Structure 1
Amino acid sequence: MAQWTNEARYQKYEDVDQSTLDALTEKVNQSEYRQTFHIQPTTGLLNDPNGLIYFNGTYYISHQWFPLGPVHGLKYWYTYTSKDLVHFDAVGPTLKPDTKDDSHGVYSGSAFEYHGHLYYMYTANHRDEDWNRISTQHIAKVSKDGEITKFPKPVIGAPPFGYTQHFRDPKVYVKDDVYYAFIAAQNIDKQGRILQYRSTDIVNWEFQGEVKTNLDDFGFMWECPDYFNLNGYDVLLFCPQGIEAEEERFKNIYQSGYIMGQYDINQMTMNHADFHELDYGFDFYAPQTFLDEHGQRILIGWMGLPEVDYPSDVDGWAHCLTIPRVLTIEEGNLRQRPIKALEQLRTNKETALGYANKFTKQLHPYEGKQYELIIDILDNEATELYFEVRTSKTETTLITYNTKEQKVTFDRSENSQLPTPVEGTTRTTYLDTPLTQLQMFIDTSSIEIFCNNGERVMTSRIFTDASATGIKTSTESGQVYLRFTKYDLKGDAE
């Protein structure tokens, strides 16, 4: 991939001539890896979801955006609106790097309502002459017609004493008319932390202190915090960087997960269980949550990772957002399920019922590139089950289930192209209960696997050629009785 200078990375979208932008757009549109029912960048690079909110009957979904190429550079917020979280209308770039404080990027943040109006709180990134980072926290008001008015100065002008300029990603939480901001930080000992601020007027913010957990030495930076209460449990999401792999855990370059328990917001003390990964696939990071119109807690993540090159990069774009997921806590366990509204995308239902064994390499003749596949395991006497999707004579995408260990393994080693660098070509998760169902959402270049009705989730990009459309199943030994239900999916992004 071409080398990008700082000058190229930090040129403004508005300063690039239209013919260059048109050529880039055409190149992106011709990419064989473009998705059909996921939010993806019009051009360039998409990363963290930002400003997620249901406000006055409309959903607002933004993402970090560098328009000019598949690299991290001068960031904008690109915004969509929706009535159902399935069909989206592009608003375009909303928050822009147009002040001194955010001259080197409008970084991540969140949305909230205050006195009947919509506001964003975000991190402004500035670099001085020596390229030192200066991070400040800002607020912008969104008018009814979508016009953005930034407050004239930072509401938090610097990190507190004892913390570095890695100070970003404010998530606003409201309780009893008090506004709290949870901000990702790094202390001077190079340890990740979450800081808490409070305000009653959204202009003056008081630093209250550090969120106290039992994770004292757990990575060099914690990004993208999110705090909420769900079904009587307090949940703190964050993305720790610098965690060493432990057997099948923490194998991605950076992690994304949560701790759950009880949080005393006044004492800033979190009594919690272990840190759990949110997703066990290759490509999931920087998730954020919000409440939908029904009061459900919805999660959307970035389907990608920093510091990884993807095959779509050569086409001038990178990454997408995950499908929206409903979070619940059941019997003390966090579950993620695809939102029910996605059923609107279903067309051409096909079903099959039958046995598979070591000698049955294909249970049904279905094919597809963009579809939802539900596999119900009705009776399992096999030692291992093998499910192959996006398969052809030369490549495949494999999901394996080991019955004894209750282990699900995702394997993309036989895709025609792979992101780089990545540690290994498989990801594994262990289920709490025997596998009874897999629900998979497969787009042109991605797969999201929901095990046992959301007990575990595995999200990954996949890069196969156009001929890889087959669906197969078999076993190592013994047989399994299965029901397949497949729906073709047709989305707005086509």
Structure 2
Amino acid sequence: MEEHDLMKQAVQALMSGMPKALRDPHRPAWHLAPSVGLLNDPNGFIQHNGVYHLFYQWNPLGCDHRNKCWGHWQSTDLVNWQHQPVALVPGACYDSHGCYSGSAVVADGKITLVYTGNVKYAEGSRTAYQCLAQENAQGGYDKLGPVLPLPAGYSGHVRDPKVWRHQDAWYMVLGARDLQDRGKVLLLRSDDLRSWQLRGEIAGSQLNGIGDFGYMWECPDLFTLDGVEVLICCPQGLEAQAERYLNVYQAGYFTGKLDYQRATFDHQDFHELDAGFEFYAPQTTLAEDGRRLLVGWMGVPEQDEDYHPTRQYGWIHTMTCPRELSLQNGKLYQQPARELQQLRGTSQQWQGAADSAPCLPVDSAELLLTPQGRFSANVGDAIVLDWDGALLRLTRNNLRDGQPEHRYWRGDLAHLQILFDHSSVEIFINHGEAVMSARYFPGPQPLLQLGGDAHLALEHWSLAPCMLE
């Protein structure tokens, strides 16, 4: 489809579809969601001149993974957001089958997007180009075309460029699948963003002593935090274990040391970033105040997407809340961005036995919970969190077959911070030591019911809706 035709259809889809989408009782109050259609990966997350920009994979024409454009929001406070002109629309010869994920940098004073142009051929093969687009005076983005064709030795699955500046050069990590179906992360270098040199594979299946570890690694993100390099990536093809790797595809991280000259990354073990049901394709940015911030997609590709009830209203998926990252004892901690406290409304505090706790409204709410002993938390009869003294278990009924499904975290539980929205919950364990994110679809005005013999201290806030205009 030509870019112009797709844009005309997108405008029609928005005008005809938004009234229905806004009637959905599961529409979030303060999480970012598509006006219509499908949202997936966050892209081009950046702060420039005090303004945050968050681009995102968007199909305005339906709830499937086609017609991938880059939508665009901006904000000055990470809470209230404004729609911007659609940044990228597929249709050129080098991105005919989708403007796939990528990142953003500031070059020559302008935001420059680096993205994957996806091209599929009639006989079933595919290729990928890494492409540039640059901000123009009207707030849109002008395509500058491809700067990197498919590197030799890899399948057509090479995508998701994340670019950053180090000393006097630009560097890029790319997710890749080699010709032996092994997932890799490639490191590239450029002086000018246009001419790129492949420096080598810095991580992946059968590298750095990790053995077989998936056939494709998507959405890499490499950054330095407290003097340590962190590589975030999404390996596809990991076998499920008893209490981890339970989603269709995983998102996690390695910590280590990147040698820029030798193009090697000496890293520790892989750790999942989120132990919940829905979390994938996270992207980080360095804020102007020095914080490393992360936003993820609260979804997983090919994981029961056809059964989300919001599809009946013409939209699917949300982003996670923005999160602040820190390293503590070699472990990556995530906490809700402090700006979200602006949403807090009326507060209620309570202490006592869990069995005697009041029922609390959690349509749009925040809860701080300090437990001593075992307890359970039933959220709107749609999702349940249980703590037995050693294992935290999150349970809901599968959207496809209605059977119970579980996610797990083990450790010493001292504190929970739980953020609720109309159809999502994000559970921050021990001030960010771990997170469990999930979509769930309760009835109207869901309540939190606590039970068990634990002594609880809790604080509850209602959360105001954000502005999205």
Measured against the shorter chain, the TM-score band is over 0.9
TM-score (norm 1): 0.89
Q: Does 1:427 align with 2:375?
A: no
Q: Deviations over 1:189-230 (max 9, x none)?
A: 001001111101111111111114333421010000000111
Where 1:350 maps in the other structure, the secondary structure is strand
| Cα RMSD (Å) | 2.0
Tell me the equivalent position of 1:3: none
**What aligned pairs does 1:280-291 form with structure 2 within 5 A after superposition?**
280-291=275-286
Where 1:491 maps in the other structure, the secondary structure is coil
Distance in 2, Cα, partners of 1:17 & 1:230: 40
Distance in 2, Cα, partners of 1:348 & 1:387: 21
Q: Summarize the Cα distance change of 1:124–1:168 in structure 2 as closer, same or farther, 3 Å threshold.
A: same
Contact 1:87–1:491 (Cα < 8 Å) also in 2 = no
In the TM superposition, residue 423 of structure 1 has moved relative to its aligned partner by 9.2
Where 1:321 maps in the other structure, the secondary structure is coil
Where 1:410 maps in the other structure, the secondary structure is strand
Q: Summarize the Cα distance change of 1:440–1:262 in structure 2 as closer, same or farther, 3 Å threshold.
A: same
Q: Deviations over 1:212-255 (max 9, x none)?
A: 43334210100000001111211111000010011111000000
Contact 1:167–1:186 (Cα < 8 Å) also in 2 = yes
Tell me the equivalent position of 1:473: 450
**What aligned pairs does 1:406-417 form with structure 2 within 5 A after superposition?**
407-413=391-397
Distance in 2, Cα, partners of 1:215 & 1:73: 34
- Which one of 424, 438, 441 corresponds to residue 460 of structure 1? 438
Tell me the equivalent position of 2:424: 446
Where 2:312 maps in the other structure, the secondary structure is helix
TM-score (norm 2): 0.94
Tell me the equivalent position of 1:352: 350
What one-letter code is carried by the residue in structure 2 that aligns with 1:450? Answer: F
Where 1:24 maps in the other structure, the secondary structure is helix
Distance in 1, Cα, partners of 2:105 & 2:429: 33
In the TM superposition, residue 174 of structure 1 has moved relative to its aligned partner by 1.1
Distance in 1, Cα, partners of 2:111 & 2:127: 26
Q: Summarize the Cα distance change of 1:105–1:214 in structure 2 as closer, same or farther, 3 Å threshold.
A: same
Q: Deviations over 1:45-70 (max 9, x none)?
A: 00000000011111100110000111
Tell me the equivalent position of 1:211: 202
Gaps of 5+ in 2: none
Contact 2:177–2:216 (Cα < 8 Å) also in 1 = yes
Tell me the equivalent position of 1:4: none
Tell me the equivalent position of 2:242: 247
Distance in 2, Cα, partners of 1:424 & 1:71: 26
What one-letter code is carried by the residue in structure 2 that aligns with 1:289? Answer: T
Q: Deviations over 1:412-453 (max 9, x none)?
A: 23xxxx43379951100112xx21211110000000000110
Contact 1:38–1:493 (Cα < 8 Å) also in 2 = no
What one-letter code is carried by the residue in structure 2 that aligns with 1:367? Answer: P
Contact 1:35–1:493 (Cα < 8 Å) also in 2 = no
Where 1:16 maps in the other structure, the secondary structure is helix
Distance in 1, Cα, partners of 2:299 & 2:102: 18
**What aligned pairs does 1:80-95 form with structure 2 within 5 A after superposition?**
80-95=73-88
Q: How many residues align?
A: 461
Contact 1:367–1:471 (Cα < 8 Å) also in 2 = yes
Q: Summarize the Cα distance change of 1:388–1:85 in structure 2 as closer, same or farther, 3 Å threshold.
A: same
**What aligned pairs does 1:111-126 form with structure 2 within 5 A after superposition?**
111-126=104-119
Q: Does 1:154 align with 2:146?
A: yes
In the TM superposition, residue 133 of structure 1 has moved relative to its aligned partner by 1.6
In the TM superposition, residue 18 of structure 1 has moved relative to its aligned partner by 5.8
Tell me the equivalent position of 2:364: 370
Contact 1:252–1:423 (Cα < 8 Å) also in 2 = no
Gaps of 5+ in 1: 1-6
Which range is displaced more, 207-216 or 237-246? 207-216
Contact 2:10–2:60 (Cα < 8 Å) also in 1 = no
Percent identity at matched positions? Answer: 37
Tell me the equivalent position of 1:311: 309
Where 1:249 maps in the other structure, the secondary structure is coil
- Which one of 317, 320, 345 corresponds to residue 318 of structure 2? 320
Where 1:27 maps in the other structure, the secondary structure is helix
In the TM superposition, residue 94 of structure 1 has moved relative to its aligned partner by 1.0
Where 1:93 maps in the other structure, the secondary structure is coil
Which range is displaced more, 106-115 or 440-449? 106-115
In the TM superposition, residue 455 of structure 1 has moved relative to its aligned partner by 0.8
Contact 1:252–1:422 (Cα < 8 Å) also in 2 = no
Q: Summarize the Cα distance change of 1:284–1:119 in structure 2 as closer, same or farther, 3 Å threshold.
A: same
Q: Summarize the Cα distance change of 1:340–1:179 in structure 2 as closer, same or farther, 3 Å threshold.
A: same
